[in-house]
Structure 1
Amino acid sequence: MAEERGEGPAPVLTARGLVREFRGFRAVDGVDLDIAAGDVHALVGPNGAGKTTLFNLLTGFLRPTAGSVLLEGRRELAGRSPETIARLGVARSFQITSLFAEMTPRRHVELALASRTGLGWRFWRSDRALDRFAPRAAELLDQVGLGEHGDTLAGALSYGRKRALELALALALDPKVLLLDEPTAGMGVEDVDRTVELVRRIRTGRTVVLVEHNMNVVASLADKVTVLQHGAVLAEGPYGEIRNDPRVIAAYLGDSHAAR
């Protein structure tokens, strides 16, 4: 259980003074961020606001020009490799899926589970080595709604189911913090609704950070919203406050969202 303070649960992930420059351009400009344990925390803003760059800094895919990222207030993540950060409990999904088309969802998840063990790449040599992970793989596939598709080739899955498989791969790492980059991008209404329900289910016992353009999804899921503008924090708070902030309305959401 998260440590309780006067203002709520203690942060599980903290960024201070986070900066990332590309040839003099500041894509992330002095961001301070507190992700409370157990929350769904949304990062919103238009293209170019710095959301994905910030994601990459939190998960080790980019090194910060300046600043720090702390896990549970004590482990410095800035400068560590993505693999090390994932082993420490911070996992992410990507906006663009990257799956093996000729491999089944079951085998994808078994390999992800095996990657957390001392087997290393030796598990490729034997199907028997993966059998030990079959029960847990089946549980994860059921959790993301793919229980009946475990033996379908990944290339034959619909787009929404591919995104669900990617989520199962992230969950296989048993993360404390799960970062989702545009989890509903490119989805129809039915898949969006299914994904929202899925995130509601898998948030139990973990913290979720998501980048999302669909403000209906943000309104449905987020406990807290951080709005970015030009790589800096413009506003932060519950969705009900953010949607009525004149700066946010002017910069991102528009009057139609403010009225919701």
Structure 2
Amino acid sequence: MESRREHDAPSASATPGGSVPALTARGLVREFRGFRAVDGVDLDVAEGGVHALVGPNGAGKTTLFNLLTGFLKPTAGSVRLGGHELAGRSPEAIARLGVARSFQITSLFAELTPRRHVELALASPTGLGWRFWRSDRALARFAGRAGELLDQVGLAGHGDVPAGSLSYGSKRALELALALALNPQVLLLDEPTAGMGVEDVDRTIELIGRIRTGRTVVLVEHNMNVVASLAERVTVLQHGKVLIEGPYAEIRHDPRVITAYLGDSHAVR
């Protein structure tokens, strides 16, 4: 595996769009008992852009996502954030370097309010962490910023209700607020609209469009309308490899993409 020595970091090359990449992967491999779920993936995510990872079920999207965020260690290859090597680091260490993620499945505390969720997320980098029970006053310093983040994701009027009482779409919005509390340089979103109705999907598209300002976003998404609305660049995976990459307007008509989606004319439209 590549050394973590920062002064050995190679110079970043421009992405196909001409931007310097914020996040890169080279030769990324992940094997499970001889099966290569990710097989030699190269990836350049342009700074300040929205980059979508798409593909049919079993293409390797979630495995690649977990490699980028440290929830899996690569069998081989490199993941870099600027001059930092991420491969082999813990998810917590990667988050401290500026990479935050949401999850496909919500994992909130049902009785805890959205405000307290966000206050705890803001406290986590300070060393206070889960010692909050020693004094509620210890979290008071984060109240203002927590309110700002809840307002940013459309939950200003729901800050003091149990998180378990929120609608599914509002729970996903709260998860975005928790990720934003880490002030990430790169935000990775795992199926942000999974399980949503049309209205919640539209609201989530609008929300991501707002929170992307000043940061880089990578999203795994099945809904191609979401991809078309948000992503400047799309990487299509198949069998753990990059099948094609480019702007959505170009890849959606590519015969390889249509074939990858089993010929479903509605999968990519």
Which TM-score band applies after superposition, normalised by the shorter structure? over 0.9
- d(CA) in 1 for partners of 2:266 and 2:134? 56
| 1:163 partnered with 2:176 | no
Using the TM superposition, give the Cα deviation of residue 175 of structure 1 relative to its aligned residue in structure 2, in angstroms.
0.2
RMSD of aligned alpha carbons: 1.6
- d(CA) in 2 for partners of 1:197 and 1:27? 33
The aligned counterpart of 1:51 is 61
- d(CA) in 2 for partners of 1:15 and 1:5? 12
Partner of residue 36 from structure 1, selected from 42, 46, 53? 46
The aligned counterpart of 2:121 is 112
Partner of residue 173 from structure 1, selected from 176, 182, 188? 182
Asked if the contact 2:15–2:46 (Cα under 8 Å) also holds between the matched residues in 1, the reply is no
What is the TM-score normalised by the length of structure 2?
A: 0.92
Evaluate the alpha carbon distance shift between residue 127 and residue 194 of structure 1 in structure 2; reply closer, same or farther with a 3 A threshold.
same
CA deviation string 1:171-195 (max 9, x = no partner): 0000000000000000000000000
Percent of paired sites with the same residue = 82
Partner of residue 197 from structure 2, selected from 188, 193, 196? 188
Using the TM superposition, give the Cα deviation of residue 116 of structure 1 relative to its aligned residue in structure 2, in angstroms.
1.4
Task: Name the SS for the 1:14 alignment partner.
Answer: strand
Asked if the contact 1:91–1:177 (Cα under 8 Å) also holds between the matched residues in 2, the reply is yes
After superposition, residues 99-248 of structure 1 pair within 5 angstroms as 99-248=108-257
Evaluate the alpha carbon distance shift between residue 257 and residue 50 of structure 1 in structure 2; reply closer, same or farther with a 3 A threshold.
closer
Deviant stretches of 4+, over 2 Å = 2-7, 118-124, 253-258
Q: Which runs of 5+ in 2 are unaligned?
A: 1-11
Using the TM superposition, give the Cα deviation of residue 138 of structure 1 relative to its aligned residue in structure 2, in angstroms.
0.2
What is the TM-score normalised by the length of structure 1?
A: 0.95
- d(CA) in 2 for partners of 1:120 and 1:165? 19
CA deviation string 1:34-71 (max 9, x = no partner): 00001100000111100000010000000000000000
Asked if the contact 1:243–1:257 (Cα under 8 Å) also holds between the matched residues in 2, the reply is no
Evaluate the alpha carbon distance shift between residue 6 and residue 152 of structure 1 in structure 2; reply closer, same or farther with a 3 A threshold.
closer
Task: Name the SS for the 2:67 alignment partner.
Answer: helix
What is the identity, as a one-letter code, of the residue corresponding to 2:260? A
